[in-house]
Amino acid sequence: MSEKRKESGLGKDLVGLENVSGETIQAILDTAEPFKEISERAIKKVPVLRGKTIVNLFFEPSTRTRISFEFAEKRLGADTVNVAASGSSVVKGETLVDTARNLEAMRIDMVVIRHGSSGAAQFLADRIPSNVINGGDGQHEHPTQALLDMLTLRDSFGRIEGLKVCIVGDIVHSRVARSNIYGLQKSGAEVAVCGPRSLIPTRIEEMGVQVFTHIEDAIQWADSLNVLRLQLERMNAGFIPSLREYNRVYGVTQERLDKAPREIVVLHPGPMNRGVEIDSTVADGPQSVILSQVTNGVAVRMAVLYLLAGGAPERAEEAKKGEE
Amino acid sequence: MSRPLYIEGGRVVDPSQDIDDLAAVLVVDGRIEAVGADISKPDDAETLDATGLTISPGLIDVHVHLREPGGEHKEDIATGSKAAIAGGFTTIWAMPNTDPPIDDPAAVGYVRAAGRAVRASRVMPIGAASIGQQGEKMTEIGELVHAGAVAVSDDGHPVRNSGLMRRLLEYTQTFDIPVLQHAEDPGLTHGGVMNEGRVATELGLRGIPNAAEAAMVARDVLLSELTGGHLHVCHVSARQSVDHLRWAKDRGLAVTSEVTPHHLILTEELVRGYNTQAKVNPPLRLEEDVVAVREALVEGVIDVIATDHAPHHYDEKEREFDDAPFGINGLETAFGLCMQALVDPGYMTLSGLIDRMSCGPARIMGLPTGSLRRGAPADIVLYAPEEKWIVDPARFHSRSRNTPLAGRELTGRIQTTIVGGEIRFVAEGDA
C-alpha cells in the first residue's frame, strides 16, 4: 500500500475516528449510500474487491460485528478468512505481533481486528503493511459502529449537524461511546453522556461532552439517545448494585420517552438486555431504529473496505455496477 | 595496599561540606584523605586528570530492581551493578521483589555476595517486609539485617494491611532501618494501567487515580506518627501525596521520601499512541503533579531522587498496552534527565542536585558515603555537567533497554566512577 492518502482522506487504516476528519466521515457515509442497495438485490454480490484477501481476526467473541464485516466483504467479492482466538495459535501463546506477521507472510490485503485490549488495532497497524480496520479495541474505539450509528441518524433526521445526541449507560467501558463522541462532534453534532458517575470516565467533560446523571434530564435535552448495553460483569465488579436498580434509575422506558419535548430517536448498538437498559416497548416501538442500524452496518463497512482498497467516493455508484 | 589516587584539575562539588571550588582530591587506602586547592600529590600516587570535569561524591540510589534471582533475562546483579556505575551510582539498594522474593537471610546474603563479586557499584540488599511479599506475616527482620539487609520493603506491592504496617514501623526500630513503602491502595488502582485522567479516558485505558497513592501516604504518615518508626515513601508521583508529606515534615516525623527522575519531568501525554515504554507504576501524571513533586524536592519535603530502575525485556514491552509490564530502565539516564529537569531550567543548583542524589540519600539512610569528607569511603563520580548527549539504549550496560527517552538529548555525562578508591567505570572514548 502506498503511503499517500487516498482521495477519501483515509490513510492506510481505520483505527478510530479520533484522527479522521469530518469531511472524511462525510465521504464514508456518502459512499455507503449507493452500497445500501446491493444488500437489497436478489444476487448480493459485486466484484469491487475481487481478488482481495481479508482476514477477520477476532480475539473477542462477536456475532454482529463479525457477521456484518463478513457480509460486507463477501458482497464486495473479497476472499475472507475468519480467525477466532479460541482454537488459534493465540491460545498456544503466540504474541499479537507474531500472529500478524504470520498472516502478512501469507500475503493478505486487509485485516479486521477485534481485540480486548485498547490500542491493539493501532499496534497491529503500526507493524504490518496491510490495511487494518478496527472492529473494536478494548474500551478505546469501534469506528464502524459509530459510522453506522451516524448513517442511521442521517437517515432519520436528514442531517447530523446540530443534532443533540446523548449516549446512555456504561460509558467508561464503551468503545462505541468514544467513537461516537469523536465522529458526532466532527460532524457538527452536540454530544452528551448519561449514566451513574461510576460508569462515566474521569474528565470526559474535557472532550467537550455534557454529562447527565439523570436520564430524565437527558431526555429533555436530546434529539436522539444511543443506549449502550449494560454488561452483567459491571454489576459483579461493583460499578452498580443491581440490574434491577439500573433499570429503575436509568432504563429507557416509553413512559420516560413520552415526557420528551420532541420525538426522540432511539439507537442501540446491540446486543440488547431487554428490561435492563431498554424496555421492549421502546426497542420494538416506532421510535427505535435499531434494526436499521444493523442494515446500515453492512453498507458502512462496504464503504470503508472500498475506500481503504483505494476506491474513490464519487465512483462508488459505478463500482457497484461492476464497472472496474 | 593500592597506590594513592590523586585527582587533579577538576571542580569539586560536595554539598555535604559546602564545597564548590576548583580543588584536588587525594584518596589513600580507599578513603578520602584530603580535598583542597593546595594539597600536595604524594610521590607514589596515581594521577587522574579531571580537567574540565566536576568531582562529586558518588550517587546513591535507594531504589533499583536487579531482577536476580528469577528475572535474569531482564537484568542480573552484574549487569545492573554495571549499569549503575555507568550512571554514576556508587551505591544501589536492590529491591527484594525477585522470584523468589528476598525474604530470608540466605537470599539477602546471596545478593550481597553476588554484588561484591561484580566489583562495580556497591549493592545493598533490601529485605522483604513480609514473607513472600504476601503482606501477611512479617519476615525475620533481625536475621535479614544480620545478613546485610539495609531496609525492608514489599515494593512492587504495597503493605496493604494497616496492622502489619504498624507492626513493621514498630519492630524495625530495634534495627534502626526504614520501611520502604510502595504507596498504592489496590482497591483504587483496580487494574489501572496509566494515570486516571483525560488521556486514559481518550485511550480507553483503565486509570490509576492520584488518590490511590495519596490515601496510602496519608495512612502511613499517621502510622509513623503513632509509632515513631522510619517511613520512607517510594516514588512519590501525586501532588496530594506531597501535602501529606509536608504535614509529616512540619511535625518532625520520621518520614522521608523519594521521587524518580521520570516523575520530575515526564507526563501522561507520553502514553499517547499506547507507548508501553511510558507505562510505569506509579504512572506518569499531569504537569501540575510534576510541578508539585519538583517543588517538594527543591524544598526538601521530598528528600531524595531514586530511579526505581525497572528493567524489562524487549518482548515484554512489545505487547498490547494492558499486557506490558510497568517500569522504566533508569540508572543510565537518571543524572542526565535530572540535570535537564532541575538544573538546566534553574530550579536547582548542581550542588542541590548532588545533595538529592548523593548526600541526601546517605543522610536519611545513615550511610558513611555521599560525602568527600576526610575518612569517608572514596566513592566518587567525575562528570561533565554541561555535556549534551543523545540517549541510545543500544549502548546501555543494563541488559534491558526499556526507556521512553530513546533519541532524547540529555545534559550531563558521567565520565568516571570510583568505588572505594578503585576506578570502576570510565566512559567509552575516554579510556
Q: Mean of the pLDDT values across residues A55-82?
A: 94
Check pLDDT > 70 for residue A91: no
Q: What is the pLDDT of residues B270-283, one digit of tens each?
A: 999 999 999 999 99
Q: Inform me whether the C-beta atom of residue A95 falls under 8 Å from chain B C-beta atoms.
A: yes
Smallest Cβ distance to B318: which of A97, A201, A203?
A: A97
Which candidate, B114, B130, B131, places its Cα nearest to that of B122?
A: B114
A5 beta partners: none
Q: Which of B103, B154, B308, B355 is catalytic?
A: B308
Collect all residues of chain A within an 8 Å Cβ-Cβ radius of residue B279: none
- B315 CA to chain A: closest CA distance, Å? 9
| Separation between Cα atoms, residue A207 and residue A187, nearest integer Å | 15
Q: Inform me whether the C-beta atom of residue B273 falls under 8 Å from chain A C-beta atoms.
A: yes
| Separation between Cα atoms, residue B271 and residue B259, nearest integer Å | 20
Class of the CATH domain delimited by B5-55+377-426: mainly beta
pLDDT for A321: 76
pLDDT for B392: 97
Check pLDDT > 90 for residue A174: yes
Helices (H) and strands (E) in chain A, counts: 13, 9
- All residues at 6 or more sequence positions from B380 whose CB lies less than 8 Å from its CB, including other chains: B7, B25, B27, B55, B56, B57, B58, B90, B372, B417, B418
CATH number of B58-365: 3.20.20.140
- Do B201 and A203 lie within an 8 Å CB cutoff? yes
Q: Inform me whether the C-beta atom of residue B204 falls under 8 Å from chain A C-beta atoms.
A: yes
Q: Inform me whether the C-beta atom of residue A154 falls under 8 Å from chain B C-beta atoms.
A: no
pLDDT for B194: 98
Confidence of residue A324 (pLDDT cuts 50, 70, 90): very low
pLDDT for A9: 80
Confidence of residue A89 (pLDDT cuts 50, 70, 90): low
What is the sign of the dihedral through the CA atoms of B222, B225, B231 and B237?
positive
**Secondary structure of A94-108 as H, E, C letters:** CCHHHHHHHHHHCCC
- Across chain A, the runs of DSSP E, i.e. the strands, are 53-58, 79-84, 110-115, 131-137, 164-168, 190-194, 210-212, 224-227, 265-267
Half-sphere exposure of B246 (CA within 13 A, CB side): 13
Smallest Cβ distance to A207: which of B202, B273, B318?
A: B202
Sole residue written with cell 554539598:
B15
- B270 CA to chain A: closest CA distance, Å? 14
Q: Inform me whether the C-beta atom of residue A109 falls under 8 Å from chain B C-beta atoms.
A: no
On whether the CB atoms of residues A273 and A244 are closer than 8 A, the answer is no
Collect all residues of chain B within an 8 Å Cβ-Cβ radius of residue A124: none
| Separation between Cα atoms, residue B351 and residue A150, nearest integer Å | 60
Collect all residues of chain B within an 8 Å Cβ-Cβ radius of residue A239: none
Helix (H, G, I), strand (E, B) or coil at B222: helix
Confidence of residue A88 (pLDDT cuts 50, 70, 90): low
The structural domains of chain B, with segments of one domain joined by +, span: 5-55+377-426, 58-365
Cα–Cα distance list, B199 to B103, B268, B271, B285 (Å): 38, 7, 8, 10
Q: How many CB pairs under 8 A join A and B?
A: 65
Catalytic residue status for B104 = no
Domains B5-55+377-426 and B58-365 share a fold: no
Helices (H) and strands (E) in chain B, counts: 13, 19
- All residues at 6 or more sequence positions from A144 whose CB lies less than 8 Å from its CB, including other chains: A14, A65, A69, A133, A134, A135, A297, A300, A301, A304
Block means of pLDDT (10 residues each) for chain B, 431 residues, are: 91 98 97 95 95 98 98 98 98 98 98 98 98 97 98 97 98 98 96 96 97 98 98 98 98 98 98 98 98 98 98 96 97 98 98 98 98 98 97 98 98 98 88 43
Q: Inform me whether the C-beta atom of residue B364 falls under 8 Å from chain A C-beta atoms.
A: no
Q: What is the pLDDT of residues B398-429, one digit of tens each?
A: 999 999 999 999 999 999 999 999 999 999 87
- Do B321 and A175 lie within an 8 Å CB cutoff? no
Q: Inform me whether the C-beta atom of residue A85 falls under 8 Å from chain B C-beta atoms.
A: no
Which residues 165-194 of A are in CB contact (within 8 Å) with B?
A: 175, 178
Check pLDDT > 80 for residue A235: no
Helix (H, G, I), strand (E, B) or coil at A258: coil
Q: Mean of the pLDDT values across residues A248-253?
A: 97
Compute the C-alpha angle B15/B21/B26, nearest 5°.
85
Cα–Cα distance list, A39 to A110, B55, B284 (Å): 22, 77, 49
Q: Which of B142-179 are b and which e, b meaning 16 or more Cβ less than 10 Å from the residue's Cβ?
A: eebbebbbbbbbbbbbbbbeeebbbbbbebbeeeebbb
Locate the chain A residue with the closest alpha carbon to B190: A237
